[in-house]
Amino acid sequence: MEVILREDIGKLGRAGDVVKVKDGYARNYLLPNQMAYVATAGAKRRIEHEQQSRQKQLAMQKTDAESLATALGEVTLNFTAKTGDGDRLFGSITSADIADQLAMKGHHIDKRAIDLSEPIKMIGEHRVAIRLHPDVRPEITVAVTKE
C-alpha cells in the first residue's frame, strides 16, 4: 500500500514522502496513529498544506529561539560549592541546577534542553550549550567557585 507520511519516521522516510509499506503496517499502525494518509490526490494536497503551515510554525519558533539566544549569550551563572582535594566538588552541578538558576534570572528553559554530557564536578568556568532549536544553540558561562 502506498502512503504519504505526515511526520518523520526513522528508517521509513520524512514528512511528505510517498512510500510503499505492507498493508498490515499501514492499516494497524500508521493510519490509526495518524502518522500517514493513503496516497490519493486529495491526501497529497492536504500534506502540502500541512507542510506549508509546519514551515511557518518552524520559522516563528526559530525567530523566537534566536531572540532568546541573544539574551542567553550574555548570561553568566555563578555557583558556590564545597570542594575536596584537587578542586573537585563534593557534589556536582547538574542540568537541573542550571535550569533552576536560569529560571531565577527569568529564562525558563527545560532541563532536557541543556546540553550537559556529564555533571560539572570541577571548579572553574565552563561553557554549556543549550538546544533551543535545531539551528540555534547558544552557550552560557557557568562559573563554579569554592565555598
Every domain of the chain and the residues it spans:
2-68, 69-146
Four-residue CA torsion sign, 57, 49, 14, 38: positive
What is the per-residue pLDDT across 79-116, written as a single tens digit (0 to 9) for each? 999 998 888 998 899 999 999 999 999 899 999 999 99
Q: Among residues 68, 66, 130, 145, which one has the least CA distance to residue 99?
A: 130
Q: In this structure, are residues 120 and 89 in contact, taking their beta carbons and an 8 Å threshold? A: yes
d(C-alpha 17, C-alpha 74), whole Å = 41
CATH, range 2-68: 3.40.5.10
Domain 69-146 has CATH 3.40.50.2000: no
43 has a pLDDT exceeding 90: no
For residue 45, the model assigns a pLDDT of: 84
Whole-model pTM: value is 0.67
Coil, helix or strand for 72? helix
